Chains A and B, each alone.
Chain A
């Protein structure tokens, strides 16, 4: 077993997060097997409480099965969280690497841009973006990515600034490697571990942003999401508490799992950083 895996297995929070995540992913993958019918379809009498025969989590005001919505919603949450984080990391790594490697005016311009995106209120920007380009899977993923990349860019830039002075990079330069080659195959692999740690936290934040957007009615109406379920159940809170309580718990468990997983990764990949900031 590799050193990495052994150390990760030793991290309690990391392991709890990993197990929860695996369960969530399995649930999302098997959504069509568990609930083959459309989650939007009327499945029973309206407003049945949880643990009613045949309906683990009850039904909503239109008789839709809440459990089916939870299982299908897991797919959307994880997918949007993952896709937007991949996009954000892509942009962040490119911006950070270019800024950190070239420094000078390139660095200045890119860092002012990064600061700008960090200053403006991110959730509001996401709302404005999705509203103006009308809610769809693409616009939601893009909006979350647009508001999420700056921390990655700053992190990668800082790593590049310190790594590019190192001997192995100088050696590569003297050895006639191209700039792209040095950036991609020499420096980048060494700068990735903090990025990986931040990535899992980023997926968690992306899921929270997505749920907030669909709660406000800015979700893609072709797919059921947890945030939408909470928003729809909100008016029923006095009579049918489970309609908003259960999807919220689903979000909570997912985000918690990702945070714990990220904590585990952080313990393994940067033990030094982790000791001073771990809470």
Chain B
């Protein structure tokens, strides 16, 4: 019961955050220099008086400001973000089309980073103070300082231009007839570079977190007790150390997973990956602010969603949570 209550509270909180993001977006449109209709229509749309009129009408821009806010929030709540002039289509349609590509990219990057980070972190902690630890620690330090988009470009330079192993752009080979299996393999090949690039930054984070968490648990009383009881090293690691050290990592990791969507803007731009990050970049180039704000709201919704998932995992895995909350 307490867990249901905990999750309900979290759900209400998540909705409040999304509401606040929407209000913030509205505030930004109002705060921007110039006529809000022009801001929402974007540079191209503003030239077209008919489209501008449509935007004014759709968002009731001649009404008092609180009514405008209500119209805007109500629209977003129904997943109606208006039209994109540049594409001459509803914004939500564009986003829905691009969403699977972003999900594929971010979830793969997340999985790579998490698995790699756990392996590297545990390895470092097991050999603390010895060369594997030093090596992994230095690697994590270096990864932390790398600009994501630059790593992507250098990966293209090495693996596509120089070695010719992997495709540099897009999500699939265009204009070739392929069986479903060939198609899937083709997408997988296109996915390797962008997903590794996006995962790299988080790999460093997860490695550090895992190492710290394992080291902390290793020092605890019950591990010493297990050792004193004469349990085998392997059993101590599996049953006592890893089990206790990994839970906080998985929760923390899912808390950050949503931010991958934000990081996807740079990665998708570098690799011309057809997701919402790339859509945001195009919107930026065309000054299509309605579309840009919609991608921002959707990206925030992602973060909120992943936070909820993290809460769910946590409450399932650790029944003591009610005490903490």
Flag if B154 contacts A248 (CB, 8 Å).
yes
Flag if B157 contacts A127 (CB, 8 Å).
no
Q: Residues of A contacting B296 with CB < 8 Å?
A: 121, 124-125, 127-128
Report the minimum CB–CB distance from A260 to chain B (whole Å): 8
What is the CA–CA distance of A20 and B176 in the complex, to the nearest angstrom?
Answer: 51
Flag if B295 contacts A124 (CB, 8 Å).
yes
What is the CA–CA distance of A125 and B25 in the complex, to the nearest angstrom?
Answer: 10
What is the CA–CA distance of A133 and B303 in the complex, to the nearest angstrom?
Answer: 25
Q: Residues of B contacting A255 with CB < 8 Å?
A: 144-147
Q: Is B170 at the interface (CB under 8 A from chain A)?
A: no
Flag if A212 contacts B266 (CB, 8 Å).
yes
What is the CA–CA distance of A94 and B300 in the complex, to the nearest angstrom?
Answer: 26
Flag if A124 contacts B265 (CB, 8 Å).
yes
Docked complex: A83-127 residues within 8 A CB-CB of B: 116, 119-125, 127
Q: Is A180 at the interface (CB under 8 A from chain B)?
A: no
Q: Is B200 at the interface (CB under 8 A from chain A)?
A: no
Q: Is B21 at the interface (CB under 8 A from chain A)?
A: yes
Flag if B17 contacts A116 (CB, 8 Å).
yes
What is the number of residues of chain B that contact chain A, defined by CB distance less than 8 Å?
A: 59
Which residues of B approach A to under 8 Å, CB–CB? 17, 20-21, 24-25, 28-29, 31-33, 39, 124, 137, 140-142, 144-150, 153-154, 156-157, 161, 207-208, 211-212, 215-216, 258-259, 261-263, 265-266, 269-270, 280-281, 284-285, 287, 289, 292-293, 295-296, 299-300, 302-304, 307
Q: Is A79 at the interface (CB under 8 A from chain B)?
A: no
What is the CA–CA distance of A208 and B145 in the complex, to the nearest angstrom?
Answer: 8
Flag if B300 contacts A119 (CB, 8 Å).
yes
Chain A: interface secondary structure?
helix
Known contacts A131-B289, A132-B32, A259 near B144 by CB under 8 Å: yes
Which residue of the partner chain, among A122, A124, A131, A251, contacts B147 with CB atoms under 8 Å? A251
Report the minimum CB–CB distance from B271 to chain A (whole Å): 11
Report the minimum CB–CB distance from A77 to chain B (whole Å): 11
Chain B: interface secondary structure?
helix
Known contacts A119-B303, A120-B300, A215-B266, A279 near B157 by CB under 8 Å: no
Q: Residues of B contacting A247 with CB < 8 Å?
A: 150
Q: Is A234 at the interface (CB under 8 A from chain B)?
A: yes
Q: Residues of B contacting A241 with CB < 8 Å?
A: 157, 161
Flag if A132 contacts B284 (CB, 8 Å).
no
Supplied contacts A119-B17, A216-B266, 13 more A-B pairs, CB within 8 Å:
A121-B296, A121-B302, A124-B296, A125-B296, A127-B292, A212-B148, A212-B149, A216-B269, A252-B145, A256-B141, A279-B140, A279-B141, A279-B212
Most B-side CB within 10 Å, residue of A116, A119, A122, A208: A119
Q: Residues of B contacting A124 with CB < 8 Å?
A: 261-262, 265, 280, 295-296, 299-300
Flag if A211 contacts B141 (CB, 8 Å).
no
> Which residue of chain B has its CB nearest to the CB of A249?
B150
Q: Residues of B contacting A259 with CB < 8 Å?
A: 141, 144-145
What is the CA–CA distance of A251 and B144 in the complex, to the nearest angstrom?
Answer: 12
A selection of 12 A-B contacts at a CB cut-off of 8 Å is A122-B262, A128-B292, A131-B287, A132-B32, A216-B284, A217-B285, A237-B157, A238-B161, A244-B153, A255-B145, A256-B145, A276-B212
Q: Is A204 at the interface (CB under 8 A from chain B)?
A: yes
What is the number of residues of chain A that contact chain B, defined by CB distance less than 8 Å?
A: 43
Known contacts A237-B161, A279-B208, A127 near B145 by CB under 8 Å: no
Q: Residues of B contacting A131 with CB < 8 Å?
A: 284, 287, 289, 292
Q: Residues of A contacting B307 with CB < 8 Å?
A: 119
Report the minimum CB–CB distance from B23 to chain A (whole Å): 11
Known contacts A216-B284, A237-B161, A245-B154, A122 near B146 by CB under 8 Å: no
Flag if A279 contacts B161 (CB, 8 Å).
no
Flag if A116 contacts B33 (CB, 8 Å).
no
Q: Is A134 at the interface (CB under 8 A from chain B)?
A: yes
Docked complex: A195-225 residues within 8 A CB-CB of B: 204, 208, 211-212, 215-218
> Which residue of chain A has its CB nearest to the CB of B146?
A252
Flag if A211 contacts B208 (CB, 8 Å).
no
Q: Residues of A contacting B149 with CB < 8 Å?
A: 211-212, 215, 230
